[in-house]
Amino acid sequence: MTNALPHTGSPTLRSCINDGEKALLEAKIDTARLDAELLLCHALGQNRAFILTHFNESVAENILESYKCLIQRREKREPVAYITGEKEFYSLNFKVTKDTLIPRPETETLVDTVLKFYGTGTKINVLDIGTGTGAIAVAIVRHRPLWKITAVDISDKAIDVAQKNSKANGVDKQINFKVSDLYQSCVNKKFDIIISNPPYIPDGDKNVSPEAELYEPKRALYSGSDGLDVIERIIHEATDHLAKNGKLIFEIGDGQDMAIASLIEKEKHLKLENVVPDLKGLKRVIVATQVKVDNG
């Protein structure tokens, strides 16, 4: 058991946060202060506004012991989202488990991009491939309530989490969840938009964080020697499932845009329309369009 939280008697919220931060810094965790605050919030059942305005209040012994256990888990690089069981995405709250990838801020660029194509009064059909927690589908439908989304994932456990998240966010009537390997359950169906945050990390990539490598589901992260195995399948099979002028919009990894542009160029029914950067300026989202084919 860690000795990084040594206070006896009745420590304050401030001292708990300070000691938690120190323990996490020693574990070489960059977000030590924020993580210490979030874990104390979880132990208390309160939000950050509470702890920031009650710094000098005492912490009960049972809360302190719970907090110590949470800090120990984070010291082992377990992600905060898995410890607390939740993650915010697009200003919405989502349940997460170790069966789902943790929603990331950069993926909000994907949602932003999708929402630009059709207004709130439109009625279109959307396919979300590899839905995971359902975060992308739920965020989109919250802003486009008339859209109908089919959300698929190869993991039945992920689909269960996604269904719970859609219900918790009040959009379960607009999303149809299915267990499916990419387009497998969508035979003869056409969509106005196909979206995905697919696995795109090359196998054996040394830049993956310990949190992801140790705890997140491998098939939601890795995709072959160049990271493009799943993306290549998504691109190649997309034209069979896109309506006329339909959009294929998906997230990519840093430096993959040129290789993906080549994959799209090979498909006579698809045309690369745009590569959208995220807030850090990294090329993050690919937009391709189903082009009209003259059959003579």
Q: What is the CATH number of the domain that holds 175?
A: 3.40.50.150
Burial class (CB in 10 A: 0-12, 13-18, 19+), 144: buried
pLDDT of res. 276: 98
Question: Which 3 state secondary structure label does DSSP give 261?
Answer: helix
Residues 55 and 196 grouped into a single domain: no
**Is the distance from CB of 206 to CB of 178 less than 8 angstroms?**
no
Residues 284 and 157 grouped into a single domain: yes
List beta partners, residue 152. 129, 178
Residue 282 is assigned to a structural domain of this protein: yes
pLDDT of res. 293: 57
Residue 84 is assigned to a structural domain of this protein: no
**Is the distance from CB of 183 to CB of 154 less than 8 angstroms?**
no
Residues 35 and 133 grouped into a single domain: no
Element spanning 245, H or E? strand 242-251
- Number of H helices and E strands in the chain, helices first, is 11, 9
Residues 94 and 42 grouped into a single domain: no
- Write down the residue that tokens 């279109």 correspond to: 124
Q: Which of 76, 98, 124 lies at the terminal end of a domain, its last residue?
A: 76
- Gyration radius of the chain over CA positions: 22
Residues 106 and 180 grouped into a single domain: yes
Residues 143 and 225 grouped into a single domain: yes
Question: Which 3 state secondary structure label does DSSP give 194?
Answer: strand
Single pTM value for the model: 0.91
Q: For the chain, 296 residues long, give each residue's pLDDT as a single digit of tens.
A: 344 444 445 799 999 999 999 999 999 999 999 999 999 999 999 998 999 899 899 999 999 999 999 999 999 999 999 999 999 999 999 999 999 999 999 999 999 999 999 988 899 999 999 999 999 999 999 999 999 999 999 999 999 999 999 999 999 999 999 999 999 999 989 999 999 999 999 999 999 999 999 999 999 999 999 999 999 999 999 999 999 999 999 999 999 999 999 999 999 999 999 999 999 999 999 999 998 754 43
Residues 282 and 178 grouped into a single domain: yes
Structure tokens at 116: 């630009």
pLDDT of res. 9: 55
Residue 1 is assigned to a structural domain of this protein: no
Residue 104 CA: distances (Å) to CA of 34, 59, 110, 135, 162: 16, 32, 11, 10, 16
Structure tokens at 225: 């020697």
Residues 97 and 159 grouped into a single domain: yes
Residue 3 is assigned to a structural domain of this protein: no
**Is the distance from CB of 121 to CB of 143 less than 8 angstroms?**
no
Residues 177 and 276 grouped into a single domain: yes
Element spanning 214, H or E? helix 210-215
Residue 82 is assigned to a structural domain of this protein: no
Q: How far apart are CA 123 and CA 119, in angstroms?
A: 9
Residue 29: domain span: 13-76
Residue 139 is assigned to a structural domain of this protein: yes
Residues 150 and 280 grouped into a single domain: yes
**How many CB atoms are closer than 10 A to CB 135?**
30
Q: Which of 46, 76, 106 lies at the terminal end of a domain, its last residue?
A: 76
**Is the distance from CB of 267 to CB of 293 less than 8 angstroms?**
no
Domain total in the chain: 2
Residue 257 is assigned to a structural domain of this protein: yes
Q: Look up the CATH number of the domain holding residue 56.
A: 1.10.8.10
pLDDT of res. 6: 45
For 183-194, b/e burial (b = at least 16 CB within 10 A) is beebeeeebbbb
Residues 177 and 154 grouped into a single domain: yes
Residue 126 is assigned to a structural domain of this protein: yes
Residues 125 and 66 grouped into a single domain: no
